[in-house]
Structure 1
């Protein structure tokens, strides 16, 4: 028996953060990207779940981080079918690249550590866990996620992860704000450092740092909202799927924030 279904709209918002109307638009987007054309890999056998329920299953899995054996029965399917749904539908939720942007758009970038079970990518990091460093950039005005970097090992600091993840190329040509951990990237706007031990900054630089900190806090708030999706607090899947998962969560975050 299926417990969670889109036929009962009260299930939609807790697992997706979207209103039923926003969720219907999301399902149409997934359909346009090819979601309705995908069978479950076996000739002649189609999905037992309709497309909307498959999208909801993926969102519920990301939101709760339940195991496959737990999430499957909630949707009335086997754990192997739930696994196939996540593998096929998850990448279709990826954040769409921005086709146009304002010439005055300012980006704020920061990295967050995602605990990862797959040690092919994960490395011991400052949170004392095997993690991956995920670089996230938002628009300073709208607070929407505009770019994600390729996940890097958690022992890579932000200044190198910014370059190695490729997010620096995505953000090229626009002002980028970041904290003091991005030294070595001259195109990034960072706070002023004290000139030396026991030496204070001039008043105008202190005021600039205060303003810089207030603006930079917006990316911290965005990271906190993304981490409401519990899968980013303990990622048990293969490391190769983390980029698609984070991108899909960012897309859901943007839809909820922009409508």
Structure 2
């Protein structure tokens, strides 16, 4: 099986957004962290550079493992193993926090609503409320249907539904 993507400058820059020299440094870091494995066992069918590219393409695009497999000429299971193996090695090391970071308050600026956006949001909230109430009613009817039995089963089910109905407006 022959794949299309290889760790060549055109593909690296297109799919990762990194220049080739940065990508080479990234591969070096992964190799130092043990990206080639302990040395024993079956060898990988892709070189380390292609495996790093595979993980970068996976995270950078919304392609699934089944879609990535033919691009690299491997099976979806291999794509999954490569991602599981290299994901922790590509993680950024935690940055050291300054001593006064605990007392610092970080505020991220929000964005202003566009004209008409508030009305759209209000309409979406109304529709969502109607859908949620419909689901709640279906659950109540299911409880009633499931509790049709002799004795006081129906009575207890009706009490439970009434109790849930009374709790719903309070929430």
- TM-score bracket, normalised by the shorter chain, equals 0.5 to 0.7
Residue number in structure 2 paired with 1:202? none
Query: What's 2:6 paired with?
Result: 5
Cα distance in structure 2, aligned partners of 1:38 and 1:44: 8
**Count of aligned pairs between the two proteins:** 110
The structure 1 segments of at least 4 consecutive aligned residues displaced by more than 4 Å after TM superposition are: 101-104
- TM-score normalised to structure 2 length: 0.57
TM-score (norm 1): 0.39
Instruction: Say which SS state the counterpart of residue 78 (structure 2) adopts.
Output: helix
Per the alignment, residue 172 of structure 1 pairs with 102
Question: Is the Cα–Cα contact under 8 Å of residues 38 and 88 in structure 1 kept in the other structure?
Answer: no
Q: For the residues of structure 2 that align with 1:9 and 1:86, how far apart are their CA atoms?
A: 21
Between Structure 1 and Structure 2, whose CA radius of gyration is higher?
2
Distance of aligned partners of 1:38 and 1:62 in 2 relative to their CA distance in 1, 3 Å threshold: farther
Which residue of the partner structure matches residue 224 of structure 1?
A: none
Structure 2 gap segments, 5+ residues each: 112-171
Higher relative contact order (CA 8 A, sep 6+): 1
Return the offset for 1:176.
3.0
Greater fraction of residues in helix: 2
RMSD over aligned Cα atoms: 2.3
Give 5+ residue unaligned stretches, structure 1: 105-170, 180-212, 218-259
Residue 177 of structure 1, CA deviation: 1.6
Establish whether residue 56 from structure 1 lines up as the match of residue 79 from structure 2: no
Residue by residue, what CA displacement relative to the aligned partner does 1:44-99 show, whole Å, maximum 9, x if unpaired? 31101011110100011112221211101101111100010001001111111224
Q: What is the CA distance between 1:14 and its match in structure 2?
A: 2.0
SS of corresponding position for 1:37: coil
In the aligned structure 2, how far is the partner of 1:88 from the partner of 1:27? Answer: 14
